Amino acid sequence: VTHLTAVEKVYGKVGWFESAKYPDGTPVAGTMAVQELGSPKMSIPPRPYFRSTSAEQAAAWKAISGQLANRVLAGEITAEQAMDLLTQQAENDVLRKIESITAPKLSDLTLAARKYRKEGKKVTGATLGELSRKLRDKQIDLSGVSTKPLDETGRAIATLTHIVESKA
């Protein structure tokens, strides 16, 4: 009974938390939510990584949960340790999904903005208008810019994590 009570009081989360921010203070979680769901207003197509990982890994996570629950009931590990192992697996699965996504491909405007930022310049609404014009007039060379969606700077991958908490 003690082990079951402990399991019911533990939960885990995978994602980006308060401390995960870009250098300008923008929360990584917000940016990645837009990538997950897309934004028609911003012409950003959805690139689901959480929902697709969850669907693809549901059976594996259920099997792991059962194995870990048995270990908790046997007194081999604590509920917190079990949840840490499960959420670590989920974090790794989400990370692999993010790294595997290559489509939908990035727009030329996004690539131009990446190149502009790579040169140390700040991208604003006015900048996007200028870049759009330059693209139209074929005045921008997009070579040397990463075409990989979801993680231009590496910050999203570096700050993806999991936490385990206990309910009071």
Q: What is the pLDDT of residue 167?
A: 85
Structure tokens belonging to residue 159: 């700050």
Over residues 29-52, the pLDDT tens digits come to: 999 999 999 999 999 999 999 999
Q: What is the pLDDT of residue 6?
A: 62
SS (H, E, C) 8-47: HCEEEEEECCCCCECCCCCEHHHHHHHHHHCEHHHCECCC
Sequence-separated (6 or more) residues with CB below 8 Å from residue 152: 114, 117, 146
Average pLDDT over residues 123-131: 93
Taking the CA atoms of 147, 44, 116 and 122 in sequence, report the sign of the dihedral they define: negative
Q: Please give the Cα distance from 11 to 13 (Å, whole number).
A: 7
Pick from 9-13, 40-44, 92-96, 141-145 the range whose average pLDDT is largest. Answer: 92-96
**C-alpha distances out from residue 46 to 13, 22, 92, 101, 106, Å:** 22, 21, 21, 11, 11
